[in-house]
Homo-oligomer: A and B are copies of this chain.
């Protein structure tokens, strides 16, 4: 498979074999929805990349330069997925990061994913994954390149009717989907797993937290057990590409969609899939 990308501003399809992104997963990424030729949730994506880069000591490119390269990559494309990868670049002896890193930034454009259109309205079927998430407060929340756990979890099913798999940590706390964040509705209140020791702090998740107040809803970030999922009045998943997917089946259990906060969900979808810039 060939894939064109801008690497540090230059169009190419390959990256140095010495890049620490390949050697150690020493980097971060963002996956951005492109709609009507514009970037959705740009601010949230850039802020998360910036935070992650600061946490890991990787110099972050300026927002202006990165935005310019993203727009060059989109070109005349109306709809797609823009991926940014930022690595610590090449070099350094072994794990030791170079004192003066020259980061690699990779911007590439991909087709819009072909998820069935009715998943957003009718809801999706999800399974519970056996693959667990390791806990590390230093990495938690960041969208870093160490994603073997998600790859192994995603390899647990091939049934195209299954949209997502729910992952737990080693202590049995539910964290979220392999590529999405999870929300629970219970007695008219909203809950979402705390992401203090694992999981990715999604841009669409942040949108739910931000917009809930406007709909007189509060979201509690808390520990979630598997039993809480089964007992919930409703579940939904979020990410930057899907916006919101209601859950209509959790493993063998049908889930009701009637208790989901419809107006909030509509507002999140609109905000997640409307270009910002």
Contacts and interface: CB of A to CB of B under 8 A. Distances in A.
A23 B158 contact: no
A253 to B, nearest CB: 24
Interface residues of A, number: 64
A87 B137 CA distance: 27
A178 B93 CA distance: 13
A148 B153 contact: no
Interface string A9-23: 000111111111111
Contact of A134 (B22, B95, B139): B139
A150 interface: yes
Given A15-B17, A57-B155, A170-B135, A85 B147 contact: no
Work out how many copies of this chain go into the complex. 2
A191 interface: no
A207 interface: no
Contact of A113 (B93, B133, B139): B93
A35 interface: no
A56 B95 contact: no
Interface of A: 1-3, 5, 7, 12-26, 29, 56-57, 85, 87-88, 90-91, 93-97, 99, 106, 108, 113, 131-139, 144-155, 158, 170, 178-179, 197-198
